[in-house]
Amino acid sequence: MYRNNPLSKMPWESFLKLSPEEKGPYFMRSDRPYHALIAQQFNRPTLDRLCELASRIRRIAKTRGGTLFLRDLLSEKRAMLYFAQPSTRTFLSFYAACQIVGIQQAEVRDTATSSELKGESPEDSIRTFSSYFDLIVMRHPVGGFAEKIAWMLSNSERPVPVINAGSGKDQHPTQALLDIYTLQRSFERHGGIEGKRIAFVGDLARGRTVRSLALLLTLYPGVKQYFCAPESLQIGGDILAALDKAGIEYEISSDFEKIIPEVDAIYMTRIQDEWDTAQESRQIEIEKFHFKAHHLQALKEEAVILHPLPRRKEISPDVDSDPRAIYWRQVRNGMWIRAALILTIFDREKEVDRYYHDLTS
């Protein structure tokens, strides 16, 4: 257990006053994540290390011996997957990641089946989880709630790490990690992510995956970001301010067809209409932000199309068979990078390095 936890020395009111950049170091243990809560806590060496580790785990898992080795790494630990919002891929990839590294997992996916239905506060429910489990992976509709939990647990008698698996309209840092891993692999033979032009398309105002990824991309020199959306769904001013501060070039646009031939990666997203108050997004003419089969002709030969999924009509299914459509590979990458993150949190990644070196030497 990580007792020397900087969050435990900080009063809640002081913590609340910090900017995300200032909060970041409180979630780290020297250069490794202890909690994984916001994109701002990651630096470039940490991202590179997580990607390297994910690839090593992927390689080791190719053999039965390797799979058994990995499965023993965290077999004494238990994880709680607490998902208070719908999820398919994030939940299942965390579940599969837990299986890969041998951490035993339990789940609450519907607060109506827990004592929250009897009026227990989510804080008390999670405090209960921390009595039984060594890691909490949580998705919650309230932005910032995972941070509050991390602070609360750090100041309890069982300070366990917390991973944010999606917090309201705010952030989805582990999705951004898998997006980075996917981009890195895609551009491996084409000079890396550095200097690439990357477009975000769709609901950028409420899409938490976009917000986290836009922040992580500031760590790659020369990347130009394009935000392509109807005006009412454009990216938040806080993200643009962070980009300005980092000296990142970006373009705001509503002309999807114009940017298709210009960019190296297109990150499509769905309309997040679960946040509508009066079905307002129904009024928006969204079709011109959909990627159709005929758009493939305009796309650069080495460009890639990503999507955090689930999709609706943003990408027509006949695009799926094009080699530039990499969203299904992106899904699988989520499992490897999350396994890497869990191992890193528990400081067990050096055993993977040793096994990998023996395997490849």
CB hemisphere CA count around 351 (13 angstroms): 14
* Long-range pairs of 153-159 with CB within 8 A, sequence gap ≥ 24: 153/126, 153/127, 154/5, 154/7, 154/8, 155/7, 155/8, 156/127, 156/130, 158/1, 158/130, 158/131, 159/1, 159/2, 159/3, 159/5, 159/8
Minimum distance between the CB of residue 139 and ligand NCD, rounded to whole angstroms?
Answer: 7
- 48, 177 in Cβ contact below 8 A? no
- Binding pattern to ligand NCD, positions 301-320, x when CB under 6 A? -------xxx----------
| Residue 184 or 209 having the CB closest to ligand NCD | 209
Q: Under 8 Å CB-to-CB from 238, ≥6 apart: which residues?
A: none
Residue whose CB is less far from ligand NCD, 175 or 225: 175
Name the minimum Å distance from CB 178 to ligand NCD: 9
Of 74 and 199, nearer to ligand NCD (C-beta) is 199
Write down the least CB distance from residue 87 to ligand NCD, Å: 6
Stretch 222-241: interaction string toward ligand NCD, x if CB under 6 A: --------------------
| Ramachandran angles phi, psi of 86, nearest 5° | -60, 150
Report how far residue 26's alpha carbon sits from residue 161's, in angstroms, rounded to the nearest whole number: 12
In the list 29, 89, 324, 348, the residue contacting ligand NCD (rule: CB under 6 A) is: 89
Residue whose CB is less far from ligand NCD, 8 or 234? 234
Q: Which of residues 45-74 bind ligand NCD (CB under 6 A)?
A: none
Instruction: Using CB under 6 A, count the residues that bind ligand NCD.
Output: 12
Of 5 and 330, which CB lies nearer to ligand NCD in the complex structure?
330
Q: Return the HEC string of 233-288.
A: HCCCHHHHHHHHHCCCEEEEECCHHHHHHHCCEEEECCCCHHHCCCCHHHHCCCHH
* Residues annotated as catalytic (active site), given as ranges: 89-90, 118, 139, 172
We find the least distance from the C-beta atom of residue 339 to ligand NCD, in angstroms, to be 17
Q: Is 92 exposed, middle or buried (0-12, 13-18, 19+ CB in 10 A)?
A: middle
Query: Which positions from 189 to 208 touch ligand NCD by CB under 6 A, shown as an x/- string?
Result: -------------------x
Selected binder of ligand NCD within 130, 171, 182, 209 (CB under 6 A):
209
Between CA 119 and CA 103 the distance in angstroms is 30
Q: Select 93 or 130, whichever has its Cβ closest to ligand NCD.
A: 93
- Residue showing tokens 């202890």: 34
CB of 228 to ligand NCD, least distance (A): 16
Residue pair 73/53 in contact (Cβ under 8 Å)? The answer is no
Tokens representing residue 286 in the block: 């969204």
Q: Could you say whether residue 169 binds ligand NCD (CB under 6 A)?
A: no
Q: Kindly state the smallest distance separating residue 308's Cβ from ligand NCD, in Å.
A: 4
Binding residues among 266-295 for ligand NCD as defined by CB under 6 A: 269-270
324: three-class secondary structure by DSSP: coil
User: Which residue ranges make up the site for ligand NCD (CB under 6 A)?
Assistant: 89-90, 166, 172, 175, 208-209, 269-270, 308-310
